[in-house]
Copies of this chain bind each other. A is one copy, B any other.
Amino acid sequence: MSAEQGDGTVGKALDVLDMVAAVGKPVRFTDLLATADYPKATLYRLIQTLTHQGMLSYDPDRQTYALGVRLVRLAHAAWATSSLAPIARPYLDDLARETGETIHLAQMDNGQVLYVDKRNASRPVEMFSQAGKVGPAYCTGVGKAMLAYLPDDALERAIQRQSFHRFTGHTLDTPEKLKAELLAIRDRGHAFDREEHEPGIICCAVPILTRTDRVIGALSVTSTTARTSLAELESRAGRIKDTAARIAAEAESWRFPEQA
Instruction: List residues of A whose CB falls within 8 A of some B CB.
Output: 6-11, 13-14, 17-18, 20-26, 46, 48-50, 52-55, 61-62, 66-83, 85-86, 89, 107, 109-110, 114, 116, 124-129, 131-134, 210, 212, 214, 255-256
Contacts and interface: CB of A to CB of B under 8 A. Distances in A.
Contacts of A77: 20-22, 24, 67, 132
Given A10-B13, A53-B14, A62-B256, A79 B214 contact: no
A25 B79 CA distance: 10
A126 B80 CA distance: 12
Contact of A86 (B23, B48, B69, B129): B129
Given A50-B10, A53-B14, A76-B133, A124 B127 contact: no
A76 B66 CA distance: 13
Contact of A66 (B46, B82, B210): B82
Contacts of A255: 25-26, 62
Identical copies in the complex: 2
Contact of A69 (B66, B67, B114, B128): B114
A107 B70 CA distance: 12
Nearest to A133: B76
Contacts of A75: 71-72, 74-76, 78, 128, 132
B73 A78 contact: no
Given A10-B49, A25-B255, A17 B74 contact: yes
